[in-house]
Structure 1
């Protein structure tokens, strides 16, 4: 496959290959939706690591992939360790009704909060529990000081600084104790096992799947 700077040309060439074409997208939130939709239209299976897609866009892509019977994977985080953190958070949520998420990334990341933090909050919310019952009437003296709310009243706080790569804390609180789950990325090579697994698995799919945990 030649190296080109035109996606349409690459997709046309991919359809001419004997093996099923797979497109891995690590681009930018502004272009990822069009990239993925174009790939599906050509029958090329997208593996999407770019975050920033809205729920409406994800739903639209899911319907488009379903009609085309074309596999598509949207993976907010390719780290196996992060999937394990999310599973541990789901287990902990059975015993704690107060939880908040802090995500920390490099200052070149365009979207906030991260797709991983949103996914974590969504997974917790799917359990049907209502989190963080208010004990006092809160008042933000600075707008956004308490972060953004996702799902069942889960606050997410975003930090952007040079020197960071990708980090996340899920903090549970109860009377007299704090339980903290944290994942740190020290090198981006940790994503490769998840990327390679996704490339292999997407060729077996006929629709869109959201989240690495769905294919492990």
Structure 2
């Protein structure tokens, strides 16, 4: 596969050997506006990135050295789907080299987000952190935020596979943040309720609850449940395949080129 990189956005992929990383590699190789500049993975040294992703040989070998990849391949964007323990180090390195991070790794704290915003602004480049890149999931969040204006009694239940490292999910936290913007804070449930088993009522956010389910066989789902007098409303999104996230990743890669500072969530781009 021969790539003409003129006028294309050059993408480096951190976590290229992971399930999401392989999808991003395929995106970089197939979208006419992108070129794969580098593929970084801590355990797949030397393998052709295209072969690793299950497509044609592309001539880009996987490396374990992020710093060297950033210097030698000179990407425009680093797409990161790694793990919480390494994502901030990857992002700092990218920004230091003038490379714009697009981050799908969850588990970042508010302090992490503030640091990314400052580092990006100091460098004059953009960073996008997406708790979820699925267009359907983002619509679910927006619909839930709108519903909260009229039905303030709400709980969130999110479902993921048993190996997910963080709880609650980044998607549920982002959903809760959007709901809280449209809902006056108050504590739900009976004033005298008592958890017989600690944690059985879920995590408390702004007066309402988030419940995390972790079981093998589940990919990624989320329900937002609203209750009112004589009625309930359920807004649910189900993901079945990682390819469903790639249209959102493509949007983020294109839009980060024009940003300065941090953008948290790609819902900002759905109306333009």
Please report the TM-score for the alignment, with normalisation by the length of structure 1: 0.93
Query: The residue matched to 2:63 in structure 1 has which SS?
Result: coil
- The residue aligned with 1:159 is 213
2:250 to 196, 202, 209: 196
CA deviations on 1:60-110 (whole Å, 9 max, x unpaired) are: 111111111111000000000011111111121111121000000011211
CA distance in 2, matches of 1:13, 1:73: 23
Task: State the superposition RMSD in angstroms.
Answer: 1.4
- The residue aligned with 2:68 is 9
Give structure 2 stretches of 5+ with no counterpart.
1-36, 38-59
Say which structure, 1 or 2, has more relative contact order (CA 8 Å, 6+ apart): 1
- The residue aligned with 2:154 is 99
Query: The residue matched to 1:47 in structure 2 has which SS?
Result: strand
1:67 to 95, 117, 122: 122
Give structure 1 stretches of 5+ with no counterpart.
none
**Count of paired positions:** 211
- The residue aligned with 2:134 is 79
Query: The residue matched to 1:121 in structure 2 has which SS?
Result: helix
- The residue aligned with 2:109 is 54
CA distance in 1, matches of 2:71, 2:240: 37
- The residue aligned with 1:180 is 234
CA distance in 2, matches of 1:14, 1:209: 25
CA distance in 2, matches of 1:160, 1:109: 7
CA distance in 2, matches of 1:192, 1:131: 37
- The residue aligned with 1:211 is 265
Query: The residue matched to 1:135 in structure 2 has which SS?
Result: coil
Runs of 4 or more consecutive aligned structure 1 residues displaced over 6 Å after TM superposition:
none
Shift of 1:131: 4.4
CA distance in 2, matches of 1:42, 1:11: 7
CA distance in 1, matches of 2:186, 2:94: 39
